[in-house]
Amino acid sequence: MRHHHHSGQQCACDPPEALRIAARRGGPPGAERPPAVPPFRLLGPLEVVDDRGEVITPSAQKIRQCLALLLLNANRVTPSASLMEELWAGSPPPSDLTTLRTYVYHLRKTLLRVCRPGQGEVTLTTRTPGYLLRIDPRLLDVTLFEDHLARGRSALESGDLPRASGILAAGGRLWTGPALVDVGWGTALEAQAARLEELRMTALALRIEADLKLGRHHELVAELRWLVACHPLNEWLYGRLMEALSRSGRRGEALAVYRKLRSVLADQLGLEPSAELSSLQQAILGCPPPPAAEGRQIGALAQVAVGSRLSRP
């Protein structure tokens, strides 16, 4: 069975409100600048851009699948068998190997047009048992994003909140939509797209955590409302919205968010809110606003943010 990603799939959702908030959040002097737009993009629609800025993405669906898998395995050998399984799901045409070589030939012609001074050539070579795509990691949005996530997590763990927020926000701006949104999926690409979306949610959760600790609860409210609408079963997001509202002096709205979550969980899953959410509700009812999330562990945070109750339409 072939799969195709669409905008309704699991994603962090990019509402106009959130984008405007992110654009205004410039941070202190020396804050992380947005990375240069790389020529190979998978975090949204598949795009390849040549050295003149012209979009030269292949239009044929099978070639796009082949390119996407090679990019996700950049600087590692991708076996021909893996490419054929991705393209034909166990039902290859009689001329499968010849057809695959034709796709690689077309990709090589496309890659010749992508060049960045000082960053080396992009080459696709035959290497037993398949093909090796050599590419500078700075040319691919996925590797840039993963670097931002690692550096942002490290800054947050070391207590450098402004730097953590800036790095994670800059990494988030590399996304232009759900991963591989316009590429047909086989088994391998489906797994890769799910992995990337989980990483996106982790980076988003860590950035929200940093912003709450920085006292940016007022400006987070609109973004969190939108995210809750996108992920109606994600308890972690509800909790951060309750926290942001309460710390903004809007306790009544925070309690209304809890009631909505309780209703949604009961109706759809037959569950009650988690102990963390119940404790947060009790703290809000007790008058003092909940403290900034200084006691939460980053590892637990990421697990909650992308855990089993994450909304999956």
- Residue ranges and CATH numbers for the domains of the chain are 16-34+141-305 (1.25.40.10), 39-139 (1.10.10.10)
Q: How far apart are CA 17 and CA 180, in angstroms?
A: 24
pLDDT score recorded for residue 114: 87
CA distances 113 to 29, 39, 134, 139, 180, Å, are: 37, 11, 15, 13, 22
Q: What is the predicted pLDDT for the residue at 36?
A: 75
pLDDT of the residue at 199: 98
Q: What is the DSSP letter of 30?
A: T
Alpha helices (H) along the chain: 16-24, 61-72, 80-88, 96-111, 141-157, 161-172, 187-213, 217-230, 235-247, 251-269, 275-285, 298-305
Strand partners, 49: 55
In this prediction, residue 31 carries a pLDDT of 57
pLDDT of 288 = 54
Provide the Cα torsion 43, 231, 250, 245; round to 10°: -40
Task: Read off φ and ψ for residue 205, nearest 5 degrees.
Answer: -65, -40
Counting as low any pLDDT under 70, the low residues of the chain are 1-35, 116-120, 287-313
Local structure of 2: helix, strand or coil: coil
**Angle in degrees, CA 313, 167, 170, rounded to 5:** 60
Question: What pLDDT, on a 0 to 100 scale, did the predictor assign at position 28?
Answer: 47
3-state secondary structure of 129: coil
Please give, one letter per residue, the 3-state secondary structure of 223-259. Answer: HHHHHHHHCCCCHHHHHHHHHHHHHCCCHHHHHHHHH
At residue 132, the pLDDT reads 98
Encode pLDDT of 175-222 as tens digits: 999 999 999 999 999 999 999 999 999 999 999 999 999 999 999 999
Q: Which is it for the CA torsion 133, 134, 136, 137, positive or negative?
A: positive
* CA 142/CA 40 separation, integer angstroms: 9
With contact defined as beta carbons under 8 Å apart, do 125 and 227 qualify?
no
Tokens 């996925």 identify what position?
142
Q: Which of 85, 50, 86 is nearest to 65 (CA)?
A: 86
CA-wise closest residue to 14 among 248, 239, 210, 204: 204
| Residue range 278-300, pLDDT digits in tens | 999 999 998 555 555 444 443 33
